[in-house]
Chain A
Amino acid sequence: MARDLEKYLRDRPTRFCAGCGHGILLGAILRAIDELGIDIDDMLFVCGIGCAGWIPSPNFNGDSLHTPHGRAIAFATGAKMFNPKLKVMVVSGDGDLMDIGGNHLLHAVWRNIDLTVICANNMLYGMTGGQACMLTPKDAYTQTTTQGNPYYPFKFCEVLAVAGAPYVARYAVTQPFQLIRSIKKALQTTGFTFIEAVSTCPTQFGRRNQLDTPSDMLKFLKEKCITRKKAASLSKEELKGKIVTGEFTDGED
Chain B
Amino acid sequence: MVLRKSVLLPGTYYFSGNEAIAEGAIAAGCNYYGGYPITPSTEVMERISVRFIDTGGVFMQMEDELGAIGSIIGASWAGAKAMTATSGPGFSLMQESIGYAVMTETPIVVVNVQRAGPSTGQSVRVASGDIMQAKWGSHGDYQIIAFCPWSVQEAYNQTVQAFNLAEKYRVPVFLLTEEAIGHLRERIEVSRNMEIFNRKKKPGAAPFGIEESDGVPPMPTFGEGEKLLITGSTHDEYGIRQVSSPSAQAKLTSRLNNKILNNRDKIIDYEVHYIDDADLLVIAYGFTARSALFAIEELRQRGKRIGMLRLKTLWPFADKTVKDISGKIEKIFVPEMNRGQIAGEVMKYVCGDVVSYSQTNGEVIHPETIVEQIRRLS
Interface SS of B by simple majority? mixed
A40 smallest CB distance to B (angstroms)? 8
Measured between alpha carbons, how far is A104 from B66 in the docked complex, in Å? 9
Q: Contact between A68 and B96 (Cβ–Cβ < 8 Å)?
A: yes
What 1/0 mask marks residues of chain A from 3 to 46 whose CB sits below 8 Å from any chain B CB? 00000000000000000000000000000000000000110101
- Is B307 located at the chain interface by the 8 A CB criterion? no
Q: Contact between A78 and B73 (Cβ–Cβ < 8 Å)?
A: yes
Q: Contact between A77 and B67 (Cβ–Cβ < 8 Å)?
A: yes
Measured between alpha carbons, how far is A63 from B67 in the docked complex, in Å? 21
Measured between alpha carbons, how far is A77 from B32 in the docked complex, in Å? 12
Which of B158-166, B224-232, B342-350 lies at the interface with chain A? B224-232
What 1/0 mask marks residues of chain A from 62 to 98 whose CB sits below 8 Å from any chain B CB? 1111111011001111111111011000000000000
8 A Cβ contacts from B1-45 to A: 31-32, 34
Q: Contact between A78 and B223 (Cβ–Cβ < 8 Å)?
A: no
Measured between alpha carbons, how far is A75 from B58 in the docked complex, in Å? 14
Taking residues whose C-beta sits less than 8 angstroms from the other chain, chain B's interface range is 35 or more
What 1/0 mask marks residues of chain A from 88 to 118 whose CB sits below 8 Å from any chain B CB? 0000000000000001101100000000000
Q: Contact between A107 and B233 (Cβ–Cβ < 8 Å)?
A: no
- Is B340 located at the chain interface by the 8 A CB criterion? no
Q: Contact between A78 and B79 (Cβ–Cβ < 8 Å)?
A: no
Residue of B nearest to A71 (CB): B70
- Is A61 located at the chain interface by the 8 A CB criterion? yes
Measured between alpha carbons, how far is A162 from B165 in the docked complex, in Å? 46
Most buried by B among A44, A61, A74, A80: A74
Q: Contact between A68 and B240 (Cβ–Cβ < 8 Å)?
A: no
- Is B77 located at the chain interface by the 8 A CB criterion? yes
- Is A130 located at the chain interface by the 8 A CB criterion? no
What 1/0 mask marks residues of chain B from 98 to 120 whose CB sits below 8 Å from any chain A CB? 00100000000000000000000
Q: Contact between B82 and A78 (Cβ–Cβ < 8 Å)?
A: yes
Q: Contact between B232 and A66 (Cβ–Cβ < 8 Å)?
A: yes
Residues on A with C-beta less than 8 A from B233 are 66
Measured between alpha carbons, how far is A38 from B120 in the docked complex, in Å? 48
Residues on A with C-beta less than 8 A from B80 are 78, 82
Q: Contact between A83 and B78 (Cβ–Cβ < 8 Å)?
A: yes
Residues on B with C-beta less than 8 A from A126 are none
Measured between alpha carbons, how far is A83 from B96 in the docked complex, in Å? 25
What 1/0 mask marks residues of chain B from 39 to 67 whose CB sits below 8 Å from any chain A CB? 00000000000000000001010111011
Q: Contact between B71 and A75 (Cβ–Cβ < 8 Å)?
A: yes
Residue of B nearest to A107 (CB): B63
Q: Contact between B64 and A64 (Cβ–Cβ < 8 Å)?
A: no
- Is A57 located at the chain interface by the 8 A CB criterion? yes
21 CB < 8 A contacts A-B = A41-B223, A42-B223, A63-B223, A64-B228, A65-B222, A65-B230, A67-B73, A71-B70, A74-B66, A74-B71, A77-B67, A77-B71, A78-B34, A79-B75, A81-B60, A82-B75, A82-B80, A86-B78, A86-B222, A103-B63, A107-B62
> Which residues of A pack against B, CB within 8 Å?
41-42, 44, 46, 57-58, 61-68, 70-71, 74-83, 85-86, 103-104, 106-107
